[in-house]
Amino acid sequence: MKLLAGNSNRALAEAVASHLDLPLTKAQVKRFADNEVWVTIDENVRGEDVFVLQSTSYPTNDNLMELLICIDALRRASAKRITAVMPYFGYARQDRKTGGRTPISAKLVSNLIERAGADRVLTMDLHSGQIQGFFDIPTDNLLSAPLLAADIKENYEKTNELMIVSPDVGGVVRALGVASRLNAELAIVDKRRSGPGKSEVANIIGDVSGRRCILFDDIIDGGGTLCNAAQALVDGGATEVSAYVTHGVLSGAAIDRVNSSILKELVMTDSISASDAPSDKSKLRYVSCDKLLGEAIRRIANEESVSKLFD
């Protein structure tokens, strides 16, 4: 087994390699003067089971091309099996046609990864489960719920006072998975989206009065949805509101928006490199997913069950 890392999240790749007690495969992933991606593998991978760890986060297109070219280089170097390990799957939010003459970009990206030569995919908290069906190769979608639920238990003494809140109707199943692990009640924010990246709270389903609320979602991008939901929960009587999110995209003024919001803290996994964020992280905290990814990689290499990680 070999582990190859792209440039998107080097720190996470090194942490996964440390968990597996495995050195990262020697390789060069660089740019030509015109920003073309150039890859060379500096050690023999013939007949090897190779895992390529690369999140397709900002800059999304550059990191996606790195992944595709790494896969192609490994295929041409006669690697036995190539697994694309994508802690964060970019373009996942474009998983269906939202209007006339619009693409299904998540399907396109899935096709690109397959055609590049990947034999299987390992990712975490896909925006929608049906994206697994976009691939015609085995695809494992890890869940961050056990990892984040464990952090909640560690940092909140009285979990019986907690209420897990889904920031929209589409995330109910995801939030319910955490609520069931904590034996907590569930509330839902009825969100209406007026356009891409714009939303407003229409209603709160559930009694949040006097409760410590935890918003649970898969992605935070601009931060408007979570911040608006947090304010609505406080207006509804919640004593405090925190947020747990798997993927911290944090584009534009998201961090400033979170820091100036009513949120007590924002907790995220490091599926997207934390180094991309500004230095002011007064309300931001990261939980590493290195052990989750490392154990999944080990199980795949040994042909063991991955689903047992969530029992």
Share of the chain above pLDDT 90, in %: 86
pLDDT 10s digits, 212-254: 999 999 999 999 989 999 999 999 999 999 999 999 999 999 9
Q: Report helix, strand or coil for 74.
A: helix
- What confidence tier does 66 reach under pLDDT thresholds 50, 70, 90? very high
Average pLDDT over residues 185-196: 79
d(CA 119, CA 139): 9
> DSSP assignment, residue 168?
S
Going by pLDDT thresholds of 50, 70 and 90, the confidence category of residue 280 is low
Q: Cβ–Cβ contacts within 10 Å for residue 43, how many?
A: 12
pLDDT score at 161: 82
219 touches 199 (CB < 8 A): no
Calculate ∠ Cα 39-43-44, nearest 5°: 110
Asked whether 122 and 142 are in contact (CB, 8 A), the reply is yes
Is the pLDDT at 276 greater than 50, yes or no?
no
**Is the model more confident about 80 or about 129?**
80
Question: Does pLDDT of 262 surpass 90?
Answer: yes
176 sits in which H/E element: helix 172-182
Pairing, β 27-31 against β 37-41: antiparallel
C-alpha closest to that of 200 among 221, 238, 227: 227
Rounded mean pLDDT, 201-217: 92
For residue 192, pLDDT beyond 90: no
At residue 198, the pLDDT reads 60
pTM beyond cutoff 0.85 = yes
Mean pLDDT of 103-120: 98
Please compute, for residue 114, the number of CA atoms within 13 A of its CA located in the half-sphere on the CB side.
14
- Among 2, 97, 158, 191, the active-site one is 191
Structure tokens, 231:
């304010």
pLDDT confidence tier of residue 53, bands split at 50, 70 and 90: very high
Show the DSSP H helices in 86-129 as ranges. 105-116
What token pair was written down for 61? Answer: 């297109």
Q: What is the mean pLDDT of residues 77-84?
A: 98
Per the CB < 8 A criterion, the answer to whether 263 and 241 are in contact is yes
pLDDT of residue 202: 66
**What domains sit in the chain, N to C, each tagged with a CATH number?**
2-142+291-310 (3.40.50.2020), 145-288 (3.40.50.2020)
Q: Is 217 annotated as a binding residue?
A: yes
Mean pLDDT across the chain: 93
Is 193 annotated in some ligand binding site?
Answer: yes
Tell which residue, 39, 19, 42, 16, has the closest CA to residue 29.
Answer: 39
Active site residue 191: yes
Band (pLDDT 50/70/90 cuts) for residue 175 is very high
Tell me whether residue 231 is annotated as binding: no
28 known ligand binder: no
